[in-house]
Structure 1
Amino acid sequence: MTIGSHLDEFHGLPAFDFPGVGEEVPDASALPTPDSVAWRVAVDSYDSDEQWEEAFARFLAAVDTARVRALVVGAWSDVYDNAPDEVVGALVAARDRLPALRGLFVGDIVMEEAEISWITQGDLGPLLEAFPDLEEFGVRGGNGLVLPVLRHERLRRLTVESGGLPATVVRAVAASDLPALVDLDLWLGTSEYGGDCDVADLEPFFAGTRLPALERLALHNSEIQDAVCAALASAPVVARLKELDVSMGVLTDDGATALLTGQPLTHLTKLDLHHNYVSEALRKRLTETLEPAGVEVDTDPDDAEEDEDDGEVWRFVAVGE
């Protein structure tokens, strides 16, 4: 599976594309009210007629940015080669013009622009430092991604989508002080695309001694999904979660059995395992065990398919390349 559609909404607001170069930019009265949409600013990823920071300058001139609540960074020029250093610089320089910004997503890029594992990312730490009032931060693409160890008082949701998440990023998030974080969503990916973390790197999340406000934990889209689930089966953090997401990965009967026979999960409101390699019988047991307790359980194998070559079985995460 690849990502074929841009975000429909972000930070609880519908996404709206700011007109590109060559398109007529209506006056302010014809645009949505600044605080009613998540504004997406993007340029063509191939042979763009302007740089992203030029499109952003047009946005700043056309919109009352003092009222903008959410901003989505789409493609920048040559995203498969260039890190978004100029994008980061332009956003940091405009921080005083975005006092109401609470949601920021960097890299709303679809397959026609660049496959997820070909997006070149960079150091996004300056954005979190420049916008201390952010409540939601998301990024797509793990290639070259840097997130520093930091303290952020107000961040409530952090999402990192990747086909392969570097262990350095996982460790930095695990070591960060995020007292307000309610929702952590990490796409761990595969080693083929740079996802080199192991279960030991995730231990700070499992221990439950950090992230005191956490209610939803998603550690998914992973080739080590069975090992993740085996650790979660006895992880202290699970007892205070409302939602647990281990979907989109190479989850087999081994990992699902560990969850089913480990600590109770009946306190959860939702357990998501969609896109899995779990047997029908075990999927049925999970549903019959948890749904009567009020847990919403998604065991849909979705489009998970196996390939066999010379007797070796190959299984795949939902989003890789």
Structure 2
Amino acid sequence: MLVEHGAQLLGHGSLGSLLLSYVQHAQNFYGLPVLTVPPYTPATLLPDAASVAWRLQTGPYATDEDAEDCWERFTSTVELEKVRALVLGHGMDGVSRLTDLRSRLTGLEALFLGDMEDEEEMISTIDQSDLAPLLEAFPGLRELVVRGGDGLDFPVTGHAGLRALRVESGGLPPEAAAHIAAADLPSLERLELWLGDDDYGGGTTVEQLAPLLAGDRKPALRHLGLQNSPIQDELAAALASAPVVPQLTSLSLAMGTLSDEGAEALLHGQPLTHLEELDLSHHFLSEAMMLRIWTALEPAGVRVNLRGRQEEDDEGWGDEDDEYEGSGRYIAVAE
């Protein structure tokens, strides 16, 4: 039986307990505390506009009028030129509104679209859109987080300044994933994609991620997360020889259906001892395989996260025609 080793717990976990940490409101963003735009507060009582990440949101039963009121409070009381980070939550459809404000939001560096918890809206039903106009409007953007994948797309042309991109989704549209993989993002240091399940709009293939795995369009990339995927074994096999891996300092295959087959591919592939961290949490590895991974990488100084070992469901899941029907394995976040 595996036991605790320092801060990394090796052993059994439950899906329910893990979900608590996956889809929550941001408390800090871009190194700043998040402050929800307060109602009826004079501008003189607000903090310096550059000192917080401003969250705009409405209540669960709010109307379009309520959203307009929220935007009005924000734009009339906050010095928009000083705003560095924005978090858009429930009821705030933001892309067109933000592009209209480009001449005032001249210091915007970080943006979180879709900051909602399950009680407000399930992740698979959070609407997004084509992000090309947004990225074109804000060349100074450094960090972008998107929660939800319904309707999401991303421009192949890329963005010169973006350093961190995270897409949290129960089903990332394959076209969007392919466009992100192919985009020229020369400054990007961190990329995290929750690929999600076919039944919720996912279905990205290894082939669609080929430009990303080749490593030549994102030369600054140091952290790569290909997460929350039902093809985690295939991704592991591809990463075992992918040219992008030697340039990384951390790699995540968390939240998915990784089994001994994928872990075996990683162990027999190119060396991973240069990594500072390998995150495989929420997995379906045997205890023997967990021990093999730990003993292969921990002596080299790699922090290996093997928390959240899941048990396969004997009854399986999915429809009869589903490629993964009967596998008994499941991703961490879908609906």
Q: TM-score, normalised by structure 2?
A: 0.88
Equivalent residue for 2:314, pick from 295, 308, 315: 308
Report the CA distance shift for 1:49/1:202 in structure 2 as closer, same or farther (over 3 A). closer
The one-letter code of the counterpart of 1:308 is: D
Query: Do 2:182 and 2:212's aligned partners in 1 also have CA atoms closer than 8 Å?
Result: no
Query: In the comparison of the two structures, how many residue pairs are matched?
Result: 308
**Partner SS state of residue 61, structure 2:** coil
Preserved CA contact (<8 Å) 1:46 1:113: no
The answer for the alignment partner of 1:81 in structure 2 is none
State the one-letter code of the partner of 1:213: A
Q: How does 1:287-302 map to 2 (within 5 A)?
A: 287-301=294-308
Displaced runs of 4 or more, over 4 A: none
SS at match of 1:34: coil
* Matching residue within 217, 220, 223 for 1:216: 223
Match of 1:11 among 30, 36, 46: 30
User: Higher relative CO (CA 8 A, sep ≥ 6), structure 1 or 2?
Assistant: 2
Q: Give the superposed CA RMSD.
A: 1.7
Q: Provide the residue aligned with 1:32 in structure 2.
A: 47
Secondary structure in 2 matching 1:129:
helix
5+ residue gaps, structure 1, are: 78-83
Please name the residue that 2:139 is paired with.
132
Equivalences for 1:108-123 in 2 at 5 Å?
108-123=115-130
Aligned pairs for 1:62-81 (under 5 A) are 62-76=77-91
SS at match of 1:95: coil
Match of 2:164 among 148, 157, 160: 157
Alignment CA distance shift 1:289-1:47 (3 Å): same
Q: Post-superposition shift, 1:49?
A: 6.8
Aligned residue for 2:257, secondary structure, equals coil
Q: How far 1:170 sits from its partner (Å)?
A: 1.0
Task: Report the alpha carbon displacement of residue 291 of structure 1 after superposing the two structures with TM.
Answer: 1.3
Does structure 1 residue 234 correspond to structure 2 residue 238?
no
Quick one: which amino acid aligns to residue 102 of structure 1? E
Partner of 1:194: 201
**Counterpart residue type for residue 307 of structure 1:** D
Alpha-carbon displacement from aligned partner over 1:98-137 (angstroms, at most 9, x marks no partner): 1111001110011011110011222222111110100001
2:214 to 207, 213, 217: 207
On the 8 A contact 1:43/1:50 being kept in 2, the answer is no
Unaligned runs of 5+ in 2: 1-18, 318-325
Of residues 44-53 and 143-152 in structure 1, the stretch that sits farther from structure 2 once superposed is 44-53
- 54-63 vs 213-222, greater mean Cα deviation: 54-63
2:28 partner letter: E
After superposition, residues 37-116 of structure 1 pair within 5 angstroms as: 37-48=52-63, 50-76=65-91, 84=93, 87-116=94-123
Change (3 A) 1:158 1:59: same
The equivalent residue for 2:322 is none
Percent identical among aligned pairs is 49
- Quick check: 1:4–1:112 contact (8 Å CA) kept in 2? no
2:12 corresponds in structure 1 to none
Relative to structure 1, the CA distance from residue 94 to residue 49 in structure 2 (aligned partners, 3 Å threshold; closer, same or farther) is closer
Change (3 A) 1:4 1:235: closer
Letter of the structure 1 residue corresponding to residue 146 of structure 2: V
Distance 1:257 1:277 in 2: 13
Q: CA deviation at 1:14?
A: 1.4
Q: What SS is found at the alignment partner of 1:160?
A: strand
Any conservation in 1 of the 2:316–2:328 contact (CA below 8 Å)? no
Alignment of 1:166 onto 2:173: yes
The superposition leaves residues 55-105 of structure 1 with CA deviations (integer Å, 9 ceiling, x where unpaired) of 12210111111111100110117xxxxxx3xx2221111111111110011
